[in-house]
Structure 1
Amino acid sequence: MELSALRIFKAVAEEGSVTQAAARLHRVQSNVSARLAQLEEGLGVALFHRSGRRLLITAEGERLLAYTGRLLRLADEAQAAVRGDQRPAGQLRIGAMETTAAARLPQVLAAFHKRHPDVELTLETGPTDQLVHAVLNHKLDAALVAAPVTRPELEQVPVFEEELVLLTGDRHGPVSGPEDVGRKALLVFRSGCAYRRKLEGWFAEAGVTPSRVSEFGTFEAIIGCVAAGMGVALMPREVLKQRKLAGTIRVHTLPPEFAMVQTMLVWREDVVLHPARQAFAAGFS
């Protein structure tokens, strides 16, 4: 298999379309179709189901795709190592928790782009568990997640310390423990969120069962529902500093063992040479 054919296959798999893959790779459509057909013929399997103009990847294609990213990254690493090229360039795929992306990253990303304009940086947000899984499976080059991270395959460095605070409606009384909000719903991110585990652990340790748990996709939705009196939530204080929330929510301090959490930058330890990722990590030191 040629690396160029694998790059074409990867682009088609990600775009789901020969036309869009050709535009992304700056190739003519007929060339992309021909190279894809040659790859399928050489492997003796169909990599895609054809459905009109859309291409749906087959089970065999999924298996090849899992190897393709690793092969292409190793090839890029080998080229850089041989040439001694340490200039940050190319694609850098960063993941971050949504609250981290909103409160911490705007200035970081702006400064990074100014220093390294040849790096094509993309950002994906999600809960900690999802981001860790994406890094382990080579779908992200690095991610900002909540500690603790216990995967030995990952290198990790602390970059931020967050104070988590409990949010209630503005008219809610003082909160000294979960029993003071036990009748309220927990407003949380979807499963896999480390902050959600913190909040649920706080309740569990006190032996208090919340009335219900409601999941949301964005922190803005969570804050809005807290202000509407629908429940309580856990959020980094840094997120609240940048928003005018006076008169809509009340902020309650938690015990340090529940409130303080480190944000870690993690990446696969076996991907040693990655100048763009290394430059991004250096920005936090």
Structure 2
Amino acid sequence: MSPDLTDLRLFVHIAEAPSLTRGARRAHISTAAASARIQQLEARLGQQLFYRSNRGMELTLAGQRLLIHARRVLHQMDYLIEDMSESQAPEGHLRILANTTAVTELMPAVLSTFLAERPRLTIDLRERLNHDIVRGVTQGSADMGIVAGPLAAGPLERYHFSTDRLVLITSPGHVLAERQNITLGDMVDHYHVGLHDSSSLMQFLTHRFQDIGATLKLRVQVSSFEAICRLVAAGVGIGIIPESAARRHCLLMTLAMIHIDAPWAVRERSVLVRDATALPGGGLALLEALRHYGQRTEEVVDSQR
């Protein structure tokens, strides 16, 4: 007998908790009833789904496989209900995972127009690292992912929507300000202004410095590119940010912008989905809006170089 949707939802709640008690509470049933339903589910599938211990519930390999499929089935059912219900918006709800630049720079610009034209569409946008984005889209916890740079995306569909490059910014009076091009080694002895440690860009840069046997010397860490630019303009340190963000802030602040001489400085942005044709309402339209915005941004940056 195949598992029903109630069993799958309970299973996902417990797996995400990961606790039988908390999972049962989320499903609005008693712990005893939840335990019995999970045992019945395991019997139907002929697989043990959880390791049970005093520390909680840990998925077995079979449980990990089921979690991927269960999320996909439940999300598709949610999409079906949204699309068929007259009381719901035709566009529905989108779950998006994105890297730092997309969350802080790209998505606000895209969504301001896109959502204004779709008053009933709702979006859950969360910042994640590249590998977490790939896993989230693959496992079905997100409908769409936005990443930068080369990475293995497995069976996911990848749609290019723009290319940007990382640049160094300094105050006009900084010793590096007159350089046309610069290498990472040239920056080792200088203090940097950077993003918080959990940002994908900061982790990427930390690894690049480690590649050359150096440490990224941080003086201040902030939460936005605007804050980086303001501190750099004040002479607090130097910073590495996307060129598109640097050019925008250079219109408001006095900054020197220097190209970084390294292949990794060029960053291709991509949208990842499992199946574009299966996206919930509004998903395909957002995918096209992202690609159109990326093309326009590339054209503007190219004209300014």
The answer to whether TM tops 0.5 is yes
Deviates more, 1:180-189 or 1:124-133: 180-189
CA distance in 2, matches of 1:115, 1:10: 34
User: Structure 2 counterpart of 1:128, which letter?
Assistant: N
| Cross-structure match for 1:273 | 278
Assess, with a 3 A threshold, how the Cα gap between structure 1 residues 11 and 279 changes in structure 2: closer, same or farther. Answer: farther
| Alignment correspondent of 1:253 | 258
Deviation at 1:281, TM superposition (A): 1.2
In structure 1, the residue matched to 2:57 is 56
Q: 2:92 aligns with which of 89, 96, 99?
A: 89
Distance in 1, Cα, partners of 2:221 & 2:137: 21
The 8 Å contact of residues 277 and 284 in structure 2, kept in 1 or not, is answered as no
The farther-off stretch of 112-121 and 61-70 is 112-121
Structure 1 residue 75: Cα displacement = 5.6
Question: Are 1:95 and 1:124, in contact at CA under 8 Å, matched by a contact in 2?
Answer: yes
Of 179-188 and 168-177, more deviation after overlay is shown by 179-188
Percent of pairs with identical residues:
22
Q: Is the 8 A contact 1:163 1:236 kept in 2?
A: yes
Compared with structure 1, are the counterparts of its residues 156 and 5 closer, same or farther at alpha carbon in structure 2 (3 Å cutoff)?
A: same
- What pairs with 1:135-284 in structure 2 (closer than 5 Å)? 135-148=137-150, 151=153, 153-168=155-170, 171-173=173-175, 174=177, 175-176=179-180, 177-178=182-183, 180-184=186-190, 196=204, 200=208, 209=212, 211-213=214-216, 219-220=223-224, 223=228, 227=232, 232-239=238-245, 241=248, 246=253, 250-254=255-259, 261-269=267-275, 272-276=277-281, 277-284=283-290
For structure 2, list consecutive stretches of 5 or more residues without a partner in the other structure: 293-305
Write the distance in 2 (CA, Å) between the matches of 1:274 and 1:231. 44
Q: Deviations over 1:146-205 (max 9, x none)?
A: 24466463333343443532034675222332264343367686797599479949x98x
> Taking structure 1 as reference, are residues 229 and 15 closer, same or farther at Cα in structure 2, changes over 3 Å only?
farther
Whole-Å Cα distance in 1 between the matches of residues 241 and 143 of structure 2? Answer: 26
Residues 128, 194 of structure 1: 8 Å contact kept: no
Determine the structure 1 residue equivalent to 2:106. Answer: 104
Give the Cα separation in 1 of the matches to 2:47 and 2:152. 40
Q: Taking structure 2 as the reference length, what is the TM-score of the superposition?
A: 0.63
> Which string of whole-angstrom CA distances, capped at 9 and with x for unpartnered residues, describes residues 245-272 of structure 1?
958xx54231698665442222124x63
Residue by residue over 1:193-240, the C-alpha shift from the partner in whole angstroms, topping out at 9 and shown as x without a partner, is 599479949x98xxxx5742369996549939x759897542124445
CA RMSD of aligned residues (A): 4.8
Query: Please, what TM-score do these two structures have when normalized by structure 1?
Result: 0.67
